[in-house]
Amino acid sequence: AQLALERDYESQREYDTRYRVLTEATRDAFLFVGAKSGRVVDANPVACELLGVARNDLIGASVAHEFEGRRRVEFMEMLTQAATADETRPTELETRRTRQAVRLYATAFRAAGERLVLCRLDPVADGAQAGDEMN
**Binding positions for a second copy, 26-65, rule CB under 8 A:** 26-28, 30, 32, 42
14 burial via Cβ count (<10 Å: 0-12, 13-18, 19+): exposed
41 burial via Cβ count (<10 Å: 0-12, 13-18, 19+): middle
The strand pairing partners of 123, in sequence order, are 102
Q: How far is it, in rounded angstroms, from Cα 51 to Cα 96?
A: 7
Choosing from 4, 12, 131, 134, the residue that interacts with a second copy (CB under 8 A) is 12
Choosing from 3, 4, 21, 128, the residue that interacts with a second copy (CB under 8 A) is 21
**For residue 116, which of 79, 91, 85 has the smallest C-alpha distance?**
79
Considering the complex, what minimum distance in angstroms separates the CB of residue 92 from a second copy?
Answer: 18
How far CA 36 is from CA of 33, 39, 100, in Å, comes to: 9, 8, 26
Stretch that binds a second copy, among 6-14, 48-56, 63-71, 76-84 (CB under 8 A): 6-14
Our finding on whether 89 is near a second copy (CB under 8 A) is: no
Choosing from 81, 84, 107, 129, the residue that interacts with a second copy (CB under 8 A) is 107
| Residues at the site binding a second copy, with contacts judged by CB under 8 A | 2, 5-6, 8-19, 21-28, 30, 32, 42, 105, 107, 109-114, 116, 118, 120
